[in-house]
Structure 1
């Protein structure tokens, strides 16, 4: 399937979503992979994970990049090679969940997370968030808001990418109204306090969350 959706988040910042309808063989035959990516793919046990990985490469090719332009630092954070970006450095963040893959490109450091909406999120919510943020909400609203809060923490973690960051102990979201499609959060870690702004929205049965460091 072609590109599902492009979301314009800010100046020089776009989110690209790919709906995975292809089978594994079709995706594999339509992308060019460097040797390290082939080895990484071969090591994956889940077909869903493999398809998400390949769909990210489909997205890269769709916007005139490719797997050879992408590299990972020692902490596993994705980056684009400078020569692939032209004059202006571009930051990249990647996520995939079940039937979708996503990448975000920005001239600012960005983190992205996409999640399928599941009731299961409420069972693990006490482990990562302030439950008072779910007060007075319907079950459906709780699932959506808890999913956004997980995405906030995941996105900020992707930006900082530092060993030792704990979702419940170091990343704190301010309460927000779901209808606003924006939020604010803080990271308190290694004697530093850092602020982040967040944008989010739903699509089909999924949620995307993008965080930017202020």
Structure 2
């Protein structure tokens, strides 16, 4: 059972990360699914996506939940029937969840140079010119992208723009923590954002202040 990392932030907030090493068949053993989710996973063309989907169900099981405890709203945001907040992410060989009494969001991304090509779509790229080299720029851009993805998942309102509505306070690469704000349609909410980096991947999780 490759539960890669567990981070207990408080008695009511926990992050769990899974490293996906098993086959889809192995991950499916002993994991009940709702009919909707069974149809959904069997319809996935990518084996990696199917394995990611099932690994998330193992993370739920580690916290005492099953697929039947999970539901999605009209915006595709996941919820737990007991009222706790949850966010889910999956990227290549890693998946993760965060569960809390607070509103939360989480994202994992593989660190890739293509972030340099799309940076202008989610952040003012000129802010990164002072960094030492391209690797440092790529690293920070990936951190900011993950932060904005986690905030977007948490806020979960159609029409939110990464570059216009989500602001990530500047931070040092030596201090992987920041604050962020989402402002949209006269609503402003503030979050604390924490980062992790491991095995060529970046993770960000956001907690409502």
State the TM-score, normalized to the length of structure 1: 0.92
Aligned twin of 1:199: 194
What is the root-mean-square deviation in Å for CA atoms of aligned residues? 1.4
| Cα pair distance change 1:62/1:195, threshold 3 Å | closer
Select 2:208's aligned residue among 204, 210, 213: 213
> SS at the partner of 2:174?
helix
Select 1:159's aligned residue among 154, 160, 180: 154
Question: What's the CA shift for 1:9?
Answer: 2.9
Provide the rounded CA distance (Å) in 2 between the counterparts of 1:192 and 1:20: 38
Provide the rounded CA distance (Å) in 1 between the counterparts of 2:75 and 2:49: 20
> SS at the partner of 1:183?
strand
Provide the rounded CA distance (Å) in 1 between the counterparts of 2:10 and 2:137: 28
Number of residue pairs aligned between Structure 1 and Structure 2? 208
Unaligned runs of 5+ in 1: 83-88
| Cα pair distance change 1:75/1:178, threshold 3 Å | same
Aligned twin of 2:97: 103
Given that residues 155 and 182 in structure 2 are in contact (C-alpha distance below 8 angstroms), is that contact kept between their aligned partners in structure 1?
no
Provide the rounded CA distance (Å) in 2 between the counterparts of 1:153 and 1:182: 13
Aligned twin of 1:92: 86
Aligned twin of 1:86: none
Unaligned runs of 5+ in 2: none
Confirm or deny that 1:29 pairs with 2:23: no
Provide the rounded CA distance (Å) in 2 between the counterparts of 1:203 and 1:14: 18
| Cα pair distance change 1:133/1:14, threshold 3 Å | farther
**Residues 12-41 of structure 1, C-alpha deviation per residue, up to 9 Å, x if partnerless?**
211101000001221123421111111111
Aligned twin of 1:6: 6
Provide the rounded CA distance (Å) in 1 between the counterparts of 2:49 and 2:140: 25
> SS at the partner of 1:45?
coil
Given that residues 133 and 175 in structure 1 are in contact (C-alpha distance below 8 angstroms), is that contact kept between their aligned partners in structure 2?
no
Provide the rounded CA distance (Å) in 2 between the counterparts of 1:145 and 1:106: 27
Question: What's the CA shift for 1:211?
Answer: 0.9
Aligned twin of 1:79: 79
> SS at the partner of 1:105?
strand
Equivalent residue runs for 1:35-184 within 5 Å? 35-82=35-82, 89-137=83-131, 138-184=133-179
Given that residues 19 and 99 in structure 1 are in contact (C-alpha distance below 8 angstroms), is that contact kept between their aligned partners in structure 2?
yes
